[in-house]
């Protein structure tokens, strides 16, 4: 009923006399456990907008500037930087007639999604942090916690990834395909997406959660409530 009052697309609400106080919020957001799309190209980093900032950092690396690479070169969705054999998927999809479909790691890029020359562009950890330099494929294989440390000097990347950690998804890998997430993880990723957007918005949003604590450990419930 709130969504309908705010002009948002929704199903027909149940019978009610009136809604009081809806003028105090801009809109209502239903955060359920439904899957976030079916494309394996979507991942936690791209969902919260961190991947754009990460690609910009790689495009500014000395080797990338020398080779005139752009941020688009480090995209696995388009451009000439992705592996031509698997088109940036990292795997080959084989349809089976009587069994579940099979996904085989791409033999050309070994699942990295990129051409070998693109993987030669590497970034150093943030100043004061020790560790090896990382390629774009290495970054996508990082957990949120590891990426927050590695990119601690980048305000844009840090701001985009922080909501993932705040909702308890700090163990997810940046490049994990969104369809592989559980219902509860998908729900918290949606919340993280809203939190990432709220940094640049002054909207008042009412969040409605559908069984948000199902399957969560008590520590995770406390983190989610926070």
Q: Report helix angle 155-166 to 183-198, nearest 10.
A: 140
Q: Of 64, 67, 103, 111, whose CA–CA distance to 85 is shortest?
A: 111
Whether residue 161 is predicted with pLDDT greater than 90 in this model: the reply is yes
Report the relative pairing of strands 27-31 and 205-209 from DSSP bridges: parallel
How does pLDDT run across 55-67, given as a tens digit for each residue?
999 999 999 999 9
pTM equals 0.83
* Sequence-distant (≥ 6) Cβ neighbours of residue 222 within 8 angstroms: none
* Sequence-distant (≥ 6) Cβ neighbours of residue 174 within 8 angstroms: 43, 44, 45, 50, 51, 139, 140, 141, 142, 143, 144, 147
**Contact (Cβ atoms closer than 8 angstroms) between residue 139 and residue 174:** yes
Placement of tokens 């590891």 in the chain = 146
**Contact (Cβ atoms closer than 8 angstroms) between residue 179 and residue 40:** yes
Task: Read off the pLDDT of each residue in 199-226 and give the average, rounded to a whole number.
Answer: 82
Task: Read off the pLDDT of each residue in 3-16 and give the average, rounded to a whole number.
Answer: 89
Confidence of residue 124 (pLDDT cuts 50, 70, 90): very high
How does pLDDT run across 86-108, given as a tens digit for each residue?
999 888 878 888 887 787 899 99
| Rounded-to-integer distance, Cα 36 and Cα 197, Å | 17
Which parts of the chain are beta strand (E)?
A: 27-31, 91-94, 102-105, 205-209
pLDDT exceeding 70 applies to what percent of the chain? 98
């Amino acid at each position: 009923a709130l969504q309908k009052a705010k002009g948002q697309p929704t199903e027909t609400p149940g019978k009610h006399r009136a809604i009081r106080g809806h003028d105090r919020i801009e809109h209502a957001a239903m955060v359920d456990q439904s899957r976030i799309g079916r494309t394996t190209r979507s991942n936690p980093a791209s969902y919260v907008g961190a991947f754009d900032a990460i690609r910009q950092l790689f495009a500014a690396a000395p080797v990338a500037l020398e080779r005139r690479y752009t941020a688009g070169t480090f995209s696995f969705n388009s451009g000439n930087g992705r592996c031509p054999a698997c088109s940036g998927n990292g795997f080959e999809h084989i349809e089976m007639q009587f069994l579940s479909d099979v996904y085989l790691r791409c033999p050309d890029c070994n699942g990295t999604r990129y051409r070998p020359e693109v993987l030669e562009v590497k970034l150093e950890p943030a100043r004061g942090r020790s560790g090896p330099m990382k390629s774009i494929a290495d970054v996508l294989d990082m957990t949120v916690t590891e990426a927050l440390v590695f990119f601690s000097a980048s305000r844009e990347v840090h701001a985009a990834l922080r909501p993932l950690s705040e909702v308890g998804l700090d163990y997810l890998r940046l490049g994990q395909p969104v369809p592989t997430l559980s219902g509860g993880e998908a729900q918290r990723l949606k919340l993280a997406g809203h939190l990432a957007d709220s940094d640049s918005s002054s909207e008042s949003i009412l969040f409605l959660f559908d069984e948000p604590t199902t399957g969560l450990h008590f520590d995770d419930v406390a983190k989610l409530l926070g």
